[in-house]
Structure formats: C-alpha cells, structure tokens
A and B are shown apart, each in its own frame.
Chain A
C-alpha cells in the first residue's frame, strides 16, 4: 500500500518537476534580456523581415498541406487500393526521420540537374530560394497533418455517407456536404498543427533553402544565425516572436472554430 502510494507520489513529483523546469526555462526567454533590448531587436529590419517571411511561407505551406492532406487522409481512411500500406508508411516516415536528413534528401532530389531543370522550365527554382522554404515546410508538416486528418475521417461513421448517397447525392457532394462538416474539428486541429510545424520548421528549411541572411531567413533560422554570431538579444527575440505568433495563430483558429460551431 505505502509502496504504491510512494510510486504514485514519485510519478506526480516527476511530472510537476518537469513542468516547472519547462515553465521556468520559457520564462527565462522573456526575462533574461532587458525590455529595451527586446524592443530594439523586435523593430530591427532583420526581425521584421524574418517575421513577415515566416508568417507568409507558413500560411502558404499550411494551406497547401491541408489541400494535399485532406484527399490523402480521406483515401487512406475510406478506400482500399493497391499499395495502401506503403503509402501509409511513407507518410509516417518523415516523423521518425530527422529533419536534417529530410532536408538533405530534398536537396539531393531538387538539386539533381534533371529535376531542377524540369522545374526551371515551368519557372520554378527551389534550391536556396523562398520557394524552397515552402517546399521544405510542406514536407515537414504534411505527415503530421495527414495523420490527424486521417483519424478525423476515421471518426466519421461511414454510414452517414451511405445514407447521403442513398438520398441521391454523389460521392463528391456527399464528401463536401456530410464528411467535411462532420470532420471539422479534426481538420481545424490539423490546420493548427500544420501552421505550427511550418512556423517551427528548421532543419529541412536550412538545408533546402540555405538560411541566407535577409533572404531565406525565417524566424527559426534567424534564431540560429544570431545565436552563432553571438547575438543573444536577437536570438532570444526570434524565439519570443515565434512563440507569440504560434499562440496568436492558435487563438485565431479557436475563435474561428468557436464561431463556426455557433453558426451551425
């Protein structure tokens, strides 16, 4: 009995301790530099550039991630097709894959002369460009989003779709009128995750887009570059901005979801 109790106590203390350390660490981010220093860094052209770049690329990337993830997640949840299990594991792979290695693979692929030339024909340059940031972010976030979208669709009873079909609606209409609205919660969650992942994407972005100053310098890269120059104030400010943007994004999405729920 007392053995059990102390084990329970041990687990709780461990959880509390870990949470406390994490909180204090995050608080350090806000309190180590002086407010003036943060303000100066925050309004510097480099920071404003990075913030803009990060928000725009992450927004574009997460939109594309959702556009890709919804059909993929639906196919995985509803249809059986040849090679389905392979698709499933390929999609899961990047989660177990270090981001840096993912970036390297992408660089080797898009840097290949044949591949890069075929993209250049349609006017797209990917390696060491802003487009590269988007590509890297998509590949980092897609597996996570697809997983959530997949389980969102799994949570919608197929019989709703069957009833809709029997009432005269085709496959696609049923998808838009029944399946999507019923999977809404999961799709919102997936969008938040996609955006957060894209904002925070570092390794793959660094390697594919090159992390060059005021060009492909997203917030995580700004943090890294300033850190390595010994520019602690700028680095910390990048971190703070990253956190603030993520929180704002989550707040906006939750507000949107709330409005949506009230409307219907």
Chain B
C-alpha cells in the first residue's frame, strides 16, 4: 500500500468533505469522478499538503504525512490550467524541481532533455510558456511534475481543455509515460473515457462524500446507486474488430455485429450513449447501420425519463420519455428493435 487516506474531513466555509477513505497501491491509476463542486480538487490539494484536514489521517507507506509540508511529500501536481511559471521559459519550468534535488547542471540538463523527448516537447524548450497551445502546455506541465520522479502524481482534469483528437493522443502518451516513469497516478476527470482507457481504480464523489470505490468495470456494470448510474449511464462494450465494410469497421461484441466509422484493430472498447439509441417495437427501415433485436429486461422510471435495459446478445441501456413509452407500448419482457447510427458507436480505447 502506497497511500492511505483515512476518514479525511475538510471544511471550507460552507463546504465539507466528510470522512473520505481510500487506498492507492504502487502503480495504481486512480481516477476520481463526480459532478462539479463535489470537492475533488480540494481532496487532491489536501493529499498534496496544501490544506490541513480537520480530521483524519493520510499515510504514505507507514509514515503519517498528515502534517508534513507539501515540499517534503514527494507528490507532484498538474492543474487543469497547467500553472506554468510565466516568469521562466519551458526549460526552466521543467528544470525547476530538479534543481532542488540535483546540484549538477549537466545532470539536470540530461533529465530535462530526456523527458522532453519522451513527451515530444524538445522543440519547445526555449519558448515562453504563455505562447504555447493548450496541448503543449499540458505536456510541459506533466514533464515538470514527472521529471522529479514523484511517489505520486496528482492531475486535476488534465485533458479537459484539449480537443477530442488531442485528448485521445494525450491519453495514449500519458499511459506510456506513466509506465516508463513507474508513476502512481491520482487523476480527476469529468470524462468517462479517461476512466476506461487509463484507470484501474475509480472513486466516485458527490457533495463531499465518496459514493463508490471500485474497478471501472464495477462502477459501470454495478453502479451502487442512481446518481452513479445516471452519471456513468453510457454503454461501454468490449469488442473485437473483425473486418471492414466500405469505410466502416465491423466489430464483434459478444457475438453481436456492430458498425463504427472509427478505426479499430484487435480488441477495442466502444461506448454508445443511451440517448442515441432509438427504440421501436417494429423493424423500421432507416439509414442507421446498427439494428439489433432484443428483449426488454428492465424498466426504471427516474425523474421524467424511463431507462430501459435491453438484452440483444449484449446488454444495452437506453432512455425514452414516459410519453413514448406509452405510445410504443413498452413493457418488461417485450421484444424491441434498437436502432443507432454507426457514428454513435465510438471507439474509446
């Protein structure tokens, strides 16, 4: 066990985090998700040592670090807006923490050059950080945090200001780099794709409380309450790419064939948003490529929406309004068709 957070309580004016507990093993990639204002950033900053908890303990290995100042913890932080020091160029930003650890300019230079190569920012070393793009700033921030070889790397929504393509690229890069530097990571995200691609542990927070801790599979397949179910309501499937048809990839998901425009090789993870699936009692002809037949195995009314789980060889969640439920005569055990466009099947990993 590398980090143990025990019964941590925090108070910020009106806002409280109440008895948060979780553990992180060496090499873990833990992701914290939760709606805005749930206390994720505060929790992360407390682990880094920026706030003193009202109650509870934080252990690193066997050492109690609850009252250790941040500079003694060996925990690095990457913020959403990166916080690159504007009074230094990129090189000096990355070298900043190293210089404190190593008293040898040549050594520092070597380390900076190495990580700059790994993160593909070599060409930016002598730029002013304010002139960099979001994705470039992010790589510099990660380099700065990682180059000191922290025991734990904390990242607060590191991908949120990047476009979809860059985000995918960065995820892959981060994953590789974490392997090379053997880093343990705690990351905050709003993006469930991060969870599937990166995490091996997930913590779900709401209103200052931890609602569920588990593996990504646990969380998505067995959400323990409504909030989590809604929050992670997307359908996530593990499939195998089996061929091409025109410019679409053909996927085999547990025996069911799906089409997607995304490039796929070997085993892939796909997501299908429930609201993008059309439900119909009859087979209808449409331009949508994916048409599955299945049986409704669960109907849950939640607020002014109705959530259906349909078993079509794969279990898919979908959502309709009470109105259309009446109109379509939807009820449990009824056979229905699920219709969705190829572009609704997104390959996320």
Instruction: Please list the residues of chain A having a beta carbon within 8 angstroms of any beta carbon in chain B.
Output: 157, 159-160, 162-171, 178, 181-182, 264
Contact = CB atoms under 8 A, between A and B. Distances in A.
Interface in B10-50: 45, 48-50
Given A166-B76, A166-B77, A167-B144, A160 B70 contact: no
B87 to A, nearest CB: 4
Contact of B73 (A163, A166, A181, A264): A166
B253 to A, nearest CB: 43
Interface centre among B48, B70, B76, B97 (most CB of A within 10 A): B70
B86 A166 contact: no
Given A169-B71, A182-B86, A264-B87, A162 B97 contact: no
B75 interface: yes
A171 B45 CA distance: 16
Nearest to B150: A166
A156 to B, nearest CB: 10
Contact of A163 (B49, B69, B83, B86): B83
Contacts, number: 56
B277 interface: no
B243 to A, nearest CB: 48
Nearest to B51: A162
Given A168-B100, A168-B101, A163 B79 contact: yes
B148 interface: yes
A31 B45 CA distance: 64
A169 B76 contact: no
A48 B79 CA distance: 57
Interface in B132-162: 144-145, 148
6 contacts: A157-B83, A160-B85, A166-B71, A167-B76, A167-B145, A169-B100
A264 B148 CA distance: 24
B87 A159 contact: no
A165 B49 contact: yes
Given A160-B83, A160-B85, A167 B49 contact: no
Given A162-B50, A182-B87, A170 B77 contact: no
Given A162-B45, A166-B77, 15 more contacts: A157-B83, A159-B79, A162-B48, A162-B77, A163-B79, A166-B49, A167-B71, A167-B97, A167-B100, A167-B145, A168-B71, A178-B87, A181-B87, A182-B85, A182-B86
B231 interface: no
Contacts of B100: 167-169
B146 to A, nearest CB: 11
A104 B48 CA distance: 51
B83 A165 contact: no
Contacts of B59: none
Nearest to A181: B87
A166 B78 CA distance: 10
Contact of A159 (B83, B96, B144, B145): B83
A164 B96 contact: yes
Contacts of B87: 178, 181-182, 264
A157 B101 CA distance: 25
A210 to B, nearest CB: 46
Contacts of A163: 77, 79, 83, 85, 144
Interface centre among A162, A165, A168 (most CB of B within 10 A): A168
A165 B71 CA distance: 5
A166 B45 CA distance: 10
A166 B69 contact: no
Contact of B148 (A167, A171, A178): A167
Nearest to A168: B100
Nearest to A180: B87
Nearest to B75: A166
A220 to B, nearest CB: 38
Given A170-B69, A170-B71, A165 B50 contact: yes
B257 to A, nearest CB: 49
Contacts of A159: 79, 83
Nearest to A174: B71
A162 B70 contact: yes
A255 B340 CA distance: 66
A19 B299 CA distance: 75
